[in-house]
Copies of this chain bind each other. A is one copy, B any other.
């Protein structure tokens, strides 16, 4: 049964010593399983930045794609981690289990040293399903292309992702008087950054098209902060309230 490659029962180990934990984890890594460890450990990271975490109880997850995640009992984000593409290794050092996830380019190393492993588990997940999300910026774009009048009466979209020297414009079109219109779309309430982005596109197009061309810049989002609204006014840009989902 243990040799059956299709065995999908999780393997577990309670309170192992370092060498038992290393054997278990080495096998899990070898088998491309999703491995988890819980116990008392220190964590060191060196790479794009550097960090050090003194001893405490944490949950460690090693994924077969090379991801490593170290979680405490608080926070949505891992306290330390390693990105996909790393190589996981483990070894015994004295009474400790040492788990390392290493990559080059950029050179990064995550070292977890367990003084005690309370529990270890390994799974073989099979998951081919993909996530289907609604309410994204892509949905907002779809809404606008299907019903351009939501932006303003007479608006006609001509292109999406139109290239400018400053980057790609979300939606490019004309108003009912034939003036060029540039839309910058955001799925949620926007701050000053989006105004800067829109302004860069408008200015790039003003330079790109023949001189004197009047170009309207419209920020399309559910709402806008006060600072962003002031910036819009300063730059002669406009705001159109519109949500990616219908209810708003």
Cα separation A121 to B122 with both chains bound (whole Å): 13
Q: Which 5 A-B pairs have the closest CB atoms?
A: A49-B135, A56-B127, A57-B125, A196-B196, A54-B129
Distance (whole angstroms) from the CB of A117 to the closest CB of chain B? 10
Which one of B50, B67, B131 lies within 8 Å of A51 (CB-CB)?
B131
At the interface, yes or no: A161 with Cβ under 8 Å from chain B?
Answer: no
Chain B residue contacts of A74, Cβ below 8 A = 63-65, 67, 84, 127
Chain B residue contacts of A128, Cβ below 8 A = 56
Chain B residue contacts of A124, Cβ below 8 A = 57
Which residue of chain B lies nearest to A77 when distances are taken between CB atoms in the complex?
Answer: B67
A-B contact pairs, 19 of them (CB 8 A): A8-B57, A10-B38, A10-B118, A34-B73, A49-B135, A49-B187, A50-B245, A53-B130, A59-B123, A59-B125, A61-B71, A63-B71, A65-B74, A72-B125, A72-B127, A119-B121, A119-B123, A166-B192, A193-B193
Chain B residue contacts of A73, Cβ below 8 A = 34, 63-65, 125-127
Q: What is the count of identical protomers in the complex?
A: 2
Distance (whole angstroms) from the CB of A242 to the closest CB of chain B? 15
Distance (whole angstroms) from the CB of A44 to the closest CB of chain B? 10
Using a CB-CB cutoff of 8 Å, which residues 56-85 of chain A contact chain B? 56-59, 61, 63-65, 67, 69, 71-76, 79-81, 83-84
Interface string of A208-240 (1 = CB under 8 A from B): 000000000000000000010001000000000
Cα separation A127 to B60 with both chains bound (whole Å): 14
Distance (whole angstroms) from the CB of A248 to the closest CB of chain B? 12
Contact between A48 and B135, CB atoms less than 8 A apart: yes
Contact between A69 and B76, CB atoms less than 8 A apart: yes
Chain B residue contacts of A143, Cβ below 8 A = none
